[in-house]
Structure 1
Amino acid sequence: MKIGTDGVLLGSWVPISETVNTILDIGTGTGVIALIMAQRSHAGTIDALEIDELAYEQAVENFEASDWGDRLFCYHASFQEFFQEIDDEYDLLISNPPFYKDTYKTEDSSRDLARFEDALPFEHLFIGATHLLSENGRFGVILPYKEEEVVIEIAHKVGLYPQKITRVKGNPSSEIKRTLLLFGFEEMEVKLDELIIENERHQYTPEYVDLTRDFYLKM
């Protein structure tokens, strides 16, 4: 699985306070977001979860090869199994979930698992989040912008409320493509802003560069 802009965006964007000591990356793929969490924070426990066997093996290999291997651990399980069986709580949950609802599937089952929402419905994601979050914990996700209202409604039903929203455009003239959302148990006024990735092709905006430069070799 390739490293995509979505994962780097979410890992760079999600707020991490000094009180965050436990983090879970749901659907880690090859481990990119969990690795960014390790680079950005002093959290003593950074767990990851991956259902696909090959991606799980790659994540473990990447964790062991990193400078933060002593703080990183990956579980090979579905999220549904995980949140029903584990008693741990996390100060921060983070997920770049599968979100393609199309009926069309490819011949690559691993890619389909990563891309299609039926592997992890949004309802399951947010119900599980309420089981795993600590009292003041927060949950960061990246989604297609068209899913924003639906997901906020699902979250509201289980007692999670948006606290920060950043809408992402590829360039100044394009439509909003993604939405970055931070949820918590406390209902508050939402901090809302917008991020543009490029002014022109491969000419990144200062805001995008400032956000992500620590995670690219060349930026």
Structure 2
Amino acid sequence: MANPYFQFKKFTIWHDKCAMKVGTDAVLLGAWVNLADCKNILDIGTGTGIIALMLAQRSTGDIDAIDIDNDACIQAEENVKASPFAERIRVIHAACSEFAGSVTRKKYDLIVSNPPYFINSLKCPDDKRSVARHTDSLPLSELVENACSLLSSSGRIALVLPYEQLEEVESIARKNSLFVSRQTDVIPVPGAHPKRLLIELSAVETDTTNRDTLVIEESRHQYTPEYIALTKDFYLKM
């Protein structure tokens, strides 16, 4: 039986009620994102609340964390309340489009998301897990469009995606007058093709895009110095 919780250095993530469990993608994004000048932060599709909690640990900003799934919100709320960062995180049960269309919406300096990623695959029998994993519940184009309406004039959107979606997200960014300001290609082991993409879209045009690569493992369970440096403030054994 899988462990119902995951222990980080400064907080615990229970994921027994949540469709999507703690995974590398969320940890990568939470550790990688640029938090400079971020007073108001939005986490879209918060799930267990892991990314919101990581950003709270790394910053002094106020964070709104939304999810369409009520059970996920209940779990995230429990994880937040048990953490040292409860006063700065607000969990909200809402769909992305509903939240973006609310009359009282505020503008955010940073919007983050680890969005659904399965496009043309069979849906799993667990409806909640299916919603959490399949893009038809929140297409990337809809996610970015809604995020744009919530973004401050100098705000940024940070995403973790399958690498195969690079061209798609670049096209969506152009249609929404956003610019790729930072990109990290995530490679599982040396010599392999990139599997994940960490990408930052900015409302402000930049002269150049900061591009680099991150290799996770040198060999099985032997993490690279770069990955250790990125995640050491979170993982217990790093």
The normalised TM-score by structure 2 is 0.89
Counterpart residue number, 1:14: 33
Deviates more, 1:204-213 or 1:178-187: 178-187
Counterpart for residue 111 of structure 1: 129
What one-letter code is carried by the residue in structure 1 that aligns with 2:216? I
Q: Corresponding residue for 1:4?
A: 23
1:207 counterpart = 2:226: yes
CA distance in 2 between counterparts of 1:107 and 1:126 reads 28
d(CA) in 1 for partners of 2:147, 2:178: 9
Is residue 2:192 matched to residue 1:174? yes
SS of 2:77 mapped into structure 1: helix
- The Cα of 1:130 is off from its aligned counterpart by 1.2
Do the aligned partners of residues 103 and 169 (structure 1) sit closer, same or farther apart at CA in structure 2, a change above 3 Å counting? closer
**CA offsets, 1:28-54, max 9 Å, x none?**
0000000000000011x1110111111
Q: CA deviation at 1:107?
A: 1.1
Distance 1:41 1:125 in 2: 24
Q: Which letter maps to 1:135? A: S
Partner of 1:94: 112
TM-score calculated relative to the size of structure 1? 0.97
Structure 2: gaps spanning 5 or more residues: 1-19
SS in 2 for 1:46: strand
SS at structure 2 position matched to 1:111:
helix
Which residue in 1 is equivalent to 2:79?
62
Unaligned runs of 5+ in 1: none
What is the one-letter code of the residue matched to 2:130? D
Which residue pairs with 1:218 in the alignment? 237
Q: Structure 2: how far apart are the matches of 1:119 and 1:16?
A: 28
How do residues 128-167 of structure 1 correspond to structure 2 at under 5 angstroms? 128-167=146-185
Provide the C-alpha distance between the structure 1 equivalents of 2:49 and 2:105, rounded to a whole number of angstroms. Answer: 23
Q: Which has the higher helix share?
A: 1
Q: Aligned match of 1:120 in 109, 117, 138?
A: 138
- More deviation in 83-92 or 176-185? 83-92
CA–CA distance in 2 between the matches of 1:186 and 1:70? 31
Query: Counterpart in 1 of 2:97?
Result: 80
The alpha-carbon deviation at position 155 of structure 1 amounts to 1.2
CA distance in 2, matches of 1:123, 1:61: 31
- Report if aligned partners of 2:99, 2:105 keep a CA contact under 8 Å in 1: no
Deviations, residues 31-83 of structure 1 (Å, cap 9, x unaligned): 0000000000011x111011111111100000000001000111101101110
Which residue of structure 1 lines up, in the alignment, with residue 210 of structure 2? 191
**1 CA distance for matches of 2:77 and 2:203?**
32
Hey, what's the Cα distance between the residues in 2 that align with 1:50 and 1:87?
16
Amino acid at match of 1:57: I
Query: Structure 1: which 4+ aligned runs deviate by more than 3 Å?
Result: none
SS of the residue corresponding to residue 159 of structure 2 reads strand
Aligned ranges for residues 16-55 of structure 1 at < 5 Å?
Answer: 16-17=35-36, 19-43=37-61, 45-55=62-72
Q: State the alpha-carbon separation in 2 of the partners of residues 154 and 134 from structure 1.
A: 18
Q: CA deviation at 1:103?
A: 4.2
Tell me how large the CA RMSD over aligned residues is: 0.9
Further displaced range: 197-206 or 171-180: 171-180
